[in-house]
């Protein structure tokens, strides 16, 4: 359940007077999600999603909300933030930074088909192209410097063979430089739970709160490591090929990107291996997360190390 901050109808109706979206009819908490509080809000104009941010501060939101607005304006399937009478996308509600976005159709898919993977790859490439004209910038807070430092603080508490494997990967990645690869706006967390699908159509990417400027290929690798991963933890060849084919139907990879692809798949796996280890060994007091299994991404990384066919 992820309604951490309760909002009453009277309080919401008063807050909504700053918008031109009609009168409040009803609100309903959304159970899915981990980090923020979300509600479906029905007004006389239609349905919206209200998000109350539990971690991000009001002054941190413009990058993400303006990015979503930019992408939606360029035809990328994602929620469009609604501006209020001061032309702002966010303001305080119940003491939390809050925003309204358009409500998408579709739902999360736990076991996607190859056709769905292809559609996600295609939309990801469209997002990368549309991001080219977004003027704001955000560094990746979870890049190589972060994972090296974080891993260094955890080796001592890990099982020795797991720590050796993690150390091997961090050392391997330190020898790689991806700076020559095309960069732009990346979602950086395009897992299955951050995409709503309507059949084989991408209804929308959601949860842009790790979005930043980074190497585009990294985003492709993050998506593939989740979308093509089966219940057994192995990457499914057909789904991997489908996601890549969808992506390359819009933005073919360059020669440099193709050369870097095997290492990038490992880098993308390492990022989530380390963040899940951090959540496991250093759970934040009061943080309402359920710990996701770090072993899943250890396996992803170790399998990529041993792989010879990378689906290109």
Ligand X SMILES: Nc1ncnc2c1ncn2[C@@H]1O[C@H](COP(=O)(O)OP(=O)(O)O)[C@@H](O)[C@H]1O
Ligand Y SMILES: N[C@@H](CCOP(=O)(O)O)C(=O)O
Q: Name the residues that contact ligand X, by CB under 6 A.
A: 2, 30, 32-36, 38, 49, 79, 101, 103-104, 108, 206-207
Q: Which of 37, 69, 150, 275 binds ligand Y (CB under 6 A)?
A: 275
Least distance from C-beta 264 to ligand Y, angstroms? 17
Number of shown-chain residues binding ligand Y (CB under 6 A) = 9
Stretch that binds ligand Y, among 82-90, 106-114, 180-188, 270-278 (CB under 6 A): 270-278
Asked if 26 and 50 count as a contact pair (C-beta separation under 8 A), the reply is no
- 32 binding ligand Y? (CB under 6 A): no
- What is the Cα–Cα distance from 222 to 191, expressed in whole angstroms? 8
- 20 binding ligand Y? (CB under 6 A): no
Residue 9 CA: distances (Å) to CA of 22, 25, 27, 28, 132: 14, 9, 7, 10, 40
DSSP of 275-311: HHHHHHHSPPTT---PPPPHHHHHHHHHHHHH-S---
Tell me whether residue 64 or residue 297 sits nearer to ligand X (CB atom): 64
Q: Which of 13, 14, 32, 34 binds ligand Y (CB under 6 A)?
A: 34
Tell me whether residue 120 or residue 267 sits nearer to ligand X (CB atom): 120
User: How many helices and strands, by DSSP H and E, does the chain display?
Assistant: 9, 9
Helical H segments across 139-254, by residue range: 144-152, 160-174, 216-227, 237-250
- What is the Cα–Cα distance from 39 to 69, expressed in whole angstroms? 20
- 273 binding ligand Y? (CB under 6 A): no
Tell me whether residue 133 or residue 284 sits nearer to ligand Y (CB atom): 284
Closest-by-Cβ residue to ligand X is: 33
Asked if 110 and 227 count as a contact pair (C-beta separation under 8 A), the reply is no
Least distance from C-beta 189 to ligand Y, angstroms? 5
Interface residue list for ligand Y (CB under 6 A): 34-35, 189, 191, 272, 275-276, 289, 292
């Amino acid at each position: 359940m992820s309604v951490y901050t309760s909002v009453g109808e009277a309080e919401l109706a008063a807050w909504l007077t700053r918008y031109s979206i009609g009168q409040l009819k009803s609100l309903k908490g959304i159970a899915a999600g981990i980090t923020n509080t979300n509600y479906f809000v029905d007004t006389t104009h239609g349905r919206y999603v209200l998000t109350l941010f539990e971690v991000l501060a009001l002054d941190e939101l413009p990058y993400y909300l303006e990015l979503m607005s930019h992408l939606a304006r360029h035809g990328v399937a994602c929620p469009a933030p609604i501006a209020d009478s001061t032309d702002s996308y966010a303001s305080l509600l119940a003491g939390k930074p809050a925003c309204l976005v358009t409500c998408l159709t579709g739902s999360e898919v736990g076991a996607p088909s190859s056709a769905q993977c292809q559609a996600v790859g295609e939309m990801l490439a469209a997002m990368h192209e549309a991001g080219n004209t977004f003027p704001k910038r955000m560094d990746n807070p979870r890049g190589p410097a972060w994972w090296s430092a974080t891993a260094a603080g955890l080796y001592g508490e890990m099982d020795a063979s797991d720590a050796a494997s993690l150390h091997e990967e961090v050392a391997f990645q330190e020898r790689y430089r991806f700076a020559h690869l095309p960069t732009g706006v990346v979602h950086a967390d395009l897992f299955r739970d951050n995409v709503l699908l309507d059949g084989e159509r991408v209804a929308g990417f959601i949860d842009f709160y790790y979005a930043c400027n980074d190497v585009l290929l990294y985003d492709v690798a993050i998506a593939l490591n989740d979308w093509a991963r089966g219940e057994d933890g192995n990457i499914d060849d057909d789904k991997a090929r489908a996601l890549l084919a969808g992506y390359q139907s819009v933005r073919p990879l360059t020669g440099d990107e193709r050369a870097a692809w095997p290492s990038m798949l490992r880098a993308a796996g390492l990022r989530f291996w380390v963040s899940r280890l951090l959540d496991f060994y250093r759970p934040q007091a009061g943080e309402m997360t359920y710990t996701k299994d770090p072993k899943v991404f250890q396996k992803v990384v170790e399998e990529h190390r041993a792989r010879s066919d990378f689906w290109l």
